[in-house]
Amino acid sequence: MRPSILTFLILFLLGFCAAGQKSKDYKFVYRLQPDNFNDTEKFVTDTLKNFESASTVTAVIKNYQSKPIGFLTVIFKDADTTIKTMTNESGLFSIKLKPSNYAITIAGINYKALTKQIHVDTNNDFNLTITLARQTPMNWYNIHSRKKLSQADIDNIKNCIENNEQSFDKCKKKYDYYITLEI
């Protein structure tokens, strides 16, 4: 049994040394933090005639790529009432409100909170289309490279990060560099 444990330890140490050697091959490190994203928020209101005592506010909330954002917190606040709801997985919500002036706040992880004023009366229903802007990231990305990267290479990597690439494999040249995330 001792030879197998000894063999395991030797192989483990050789693997550990080889992993250390790999990081030594990547002698250039570029550290970057993506700038503010270029996407912007939009708040579009369509008003429909209503003959009831309460108005319905219906909305779809999307991201900068026009994809729905689910599970966001939506808060309507007037002088004496706070009403909270949440978007469903398709970025939709619908709520009946009494007439008043409301501040509507929409917030969620990785998105800038948006607050807008809306006047709800008994004569109108509202269909809202809302686009949220992404929150500026707090992360730093380290690019480890075997050779010096051009500014074009760095910009390409930065664009991949900003475009929320799920896999940086699309962004990198095999064995030329790898990316680590520093939180």
* Residue bearing the bigger pLDDT, 35 or 9: 35
Q: What is the pTM of this model?
A: 0.57
Sheet strands side by side (includes 111-120): 82-86, 73-77, 100-108, 111-120
pLDDT at 145: 84
DSSP character string of the chain:
-HHHHHHHHHHHHHHHHHHHHHHHH--EEEEE-----S---EEEEEEEE--SSSEEEEEEEE-TTS-B--S-EEEEE-SS-EEEEE--TTSEEEEEE-SEEEEEEEEETTEEEEEEEEEE-TTEEEEEEEEPPBPPP--EEEEEESSPPPHHHHHHHHHHHHTT-S-GGGTS-TTTEEEEEE-
Would you say residue 129 has pLDDT above 60?
yes
Q: What is the pLDDT of residue 183?
A: 65
Does residue 58 come out as left (phi exceeding 0), alpha (psi in the -120 to 50 range) or beta?
A: beta
Tell me, what's the pLDDT at 5? 46
Q: Over 90: is that where the pLDDT of 156 sits?
A: no
The whole-number pLDDT of residue 79 equals 93
Q: Are 31 and 152 in contact (CB under 8 A)?
A: no
CATH code at 42-131:
2.60.40.10
Is 74's pLDDT higher than 50?
yes
What pLDDT, on the 0 to 100 scale, is given for residue 94?
94
Domain segments of the chain: what residues? 42-131
